[in-house]
Chains A and B, each alone.
Chain A
Amino acid sequence: MHHIISIREVSREEIDDILDRASAIDSGNFDSEALKGKILANLFFEPSTRTQMSFASAMMRLGGSVISLGSVEASSVAKGETLADTIRVVSGYADAIVLRHPLEGAARFASESATIPVINAGDGAGQHPSQTLLDLFTIRQSMSLEKINIGFLGDLRYGRTAHSLAAALSRYDARIHTITPKGLELPPGLTEDLIEYGTDIVVHEHLEDVVEDLDVLYVTRIQRERFPDPADYASIASSYRVTPDVIRGVSDRFLLMHPLPRVDEIDPRVDALPCARYFEQSRNGVPVRMAMLQKVFL
């Protein structure tokens, strides 16, 4: 049985395989009845409309059907049913499960209770492998993943999308640059993991110091809640904001990415520049999730 729980366990060969499939799918090369008769259960224990919709869309484009939990408040979960029981029950209704859950490690635990494959669609601050795969896919549409210079801007302490992307790119010998406010640096455990993989990590104070050397800048949201004093937040948010001025001198192949939703960390005037890829990134969710479903089902 093939679960997809954490990008850490997906080998480079498997990543390449999923991205190749996604490319083929993206150019219209797929069997729209490949998953006919198969049922996917979308179990979203916390709302994430886009992820849920993109998995549903991916399943339906491959000819399969989707059932979902509905609202958690109205379900047996509200009556105190364990996740383990929910998973066992749903294993009898569907052929695979997509799980989004507020607790970390929920997807791994679910895969131990399930008799059908489980795909992690985000567990707490933990893993969200489909996001990482679509991030990789977006980069690969423009350049080889090999040895890229990637900058991570914003909240790297709590930003799980940045964590998994950094971990995945370390397999392709990336050089990682971090630009973060104090207190929101990469967690030490992850830094050690990356160094163990042999990844270069360079810490910068200002985006201006490094932006011209970057192939990719991956921006993440800084959450207001992390700062007890609203004034601190305001001053930090303004110095970690991408404007047309800040990225004036970038290279021709430079890409600006963001997992969305954004608040004001990217100036809307940047949207029209050719480097802005965040909406494409989000659209890439469908072919990448189709490729993941193919891998899990076939």
Chain B
Amino acid sequence: MKGKPEDGLLISPIRNGTVIDHIAAGEGLPVLRILGITGRTTEELSVATNVESRQMGKKDIVKIENRELVKEEVDRISLIAPKASINIIREYRVVQKIGVEIPSEVVGVIRCPNPACISNANEPIRSLFACQRRGYRCRYCDTMITRDVGSYIV
């Protein structure tokens, strides 16, 4: 399968792996960060930022070779790139298209900003945030995260 004309020059098609498209411009690197991809990990990847897009004006695209994202990773991406579309590629073909949807809750992904919250204490606990219209609400202390969710991702 060929890359779309709009990104064809920037990033070549991959054989196996994941393409995350329609990331808002500038959010490509944060997407890598929340997937745990750093300069020290070994994934073969391409990142294109500020690519022209008919739908979005500008967008970022991330391609990761030989890694298929799983649901929990997709949920994480939804926190900072709610419009992203995720394509799983095998032998150059898109075998699965996953639309990112905002899950009703996110477990173990965001750290509560409230230092007095039990979820930040030394307890066997997974953080849990309910996704609400105005933001993310901590199940334990009710603290709301209304902006910059990315900076609270663990």
What is the interface of chain A, defined by CB distance below 8 A to chain B? 6, 80, 82-84, 101-106, 108-109, 123-126, 189, 192
CB closest chain-A residue, reference B139: A108
* A109 partner residues in chain B, CB cutoff 8 A: 118-119, 123, 125, 140
What chain A residues lie within 8 Å of B5 (beta carbons)? none
Known: A82-B122, A105-B140. 8 other contacts (CB 8 A): A80-B122, A84-B124, A103-B118, A105-B119, A106-B140, A123-B118, A126-B142, A189-B142
Q: How large is the interface on B (under 10, 10 to 19, 20 to 34, 35 or more residues)?
A: 10 to 19
CB of A104 within 8 A of CB of B123, answer no
Q: Is B71 an interface residue (CB 8 A)?
A: no
Most A CB atoms within 10 A — which of B114, B117, B119, B141? Answer: B141
Cβ of B121 within 8 Å of any chain A Cβ, yes or no, is: yes
* Shortest distance between the CB of A76 and any CB in chain B (Å): 14
Q: How far is the CA of A84 from the CA of B126 in the complex (A)?
A: 13
Residues of B within 8 A of A (CB): 114, 116-119, 121-125, 134, 138-142, 144
User: Do A104 and B117 form a contact, CB below 8 Å, given A109-B140, A126-B141, A192-B134?
Assistant: yes
Across the interface, name the chain A residue whose C-beta is closest to B144: A189
Instruction: Establish whether residues A82 and B123, one from each chain, have CB atoms under 8 Å apart when the complex forms.
Output: yes
State the Cβ distance, A161 to closest chain B Cβ, in Å. Answer: 15
Contacts of A82 in B (CB 8 A): 122-124
Distance between Cα atoms of A124 and B114 in the complex (Å): 11
* Contact between chains at A105 and B124 (CB < 8 Å): no
For B138, give its contact among A84, A102, A105 (CB under 8 Å).
A105
**Contact in complex: B116, A104 (CB < 8 Å):** yes
A108 to B125, CA, bound (A): 11
Chain B residues whose CB sits within 8 angstroms of the CB of A83 once the complex forms = 118, 121, 123
Q: A124 to B119, alpha carbons, bound, how many Å?
A: 13
On whether the beta carbons of B116 and A84 are closer than 8 Å, the reply is no
User: Is chain B's binding surface mostly helix, strand, loop or mixed?
Assistant: loop
Please give me the residue from chain B that is nearest to A163 by CB atom.
Answer: B142
**CA separation between A109 and B117, bound complex, in Å?**
10
B124 touches A103 (CB 8 A): no
Contact of A104 among B122, B124, B141, B144 (CB under 8 A): B141
Q: In the complex, how many angstroms separate the beta carbon of A122 from the nearest chain B beta carbon?
A: 13
Distance between Cα atoms of A109 and B116 in the complex (Å):
14
Question: Is the beta-carbon distance between A105 and B122 smaller than 8 angstroms?
Answer: no
Between-chain CB contacts (< 8 Å), 11 pairs: A83-B118, A83-B123, A103-B117, A103-B121, A105-B119, A108-B118, A109-B119, A109-B140, A123-B118, A189-B142, A192-B134
Among B119, B123, B134, which residue has the most Cβ atoms of chain A within 10 A?
B123
User: B117 contacts which chain A residues (CB < 8 A)?
Assistant: 103-105
Query: Is A108 within 8 A of B140, CB to CB?
Result: yes
Q: Which of A80, A104, A108, A126 has the most CB of B within 10 A?
A: A104
Can you name the residue of chain B whose Cβ is closest to the Cβ of A192?
Answer: B134
Minimum CB–CB distance from A115 to chain B (whole Å) comes to 16
Complexed CA–CA distance, A37 and B121 (Å):
35
Nearest chain B CB to A7 CB, angstrom units: 12
With most chain A CB atoms within 10 A of its CB, the pick from B116, B118, B134 is B118
| Contact in complex: B139, A105 (CB < 8 Å) | yes
Complex formed: what's the CA distance from A83 to B134 in Å?
A: 31
Residues of B within 8 A of A125 (CB): 116
- Compute how far the CA of A187 lies from the CA of B123 in the bound complex, rounded to whole angstroms: 28
Taking A82-B124, A84-B123, A109-B118 as contacts, is the C-beta distance between A104 and B140 under 8 angstroms? Answer: yes
Evaluate contact between B118 and A105: CB separation under 8 angstroms. Answer: yes
Contact A106 B118, CB 8 Å, known A82-B123, A84-B123:
yes
A126 to B134, CA, bound (A): 20
Asked if A104 contacts B134 (CB within 8 A), the reply is no
Closest approach, in angstroms, between the C-beta of B148 and any C-beta of chain A?
A: 16
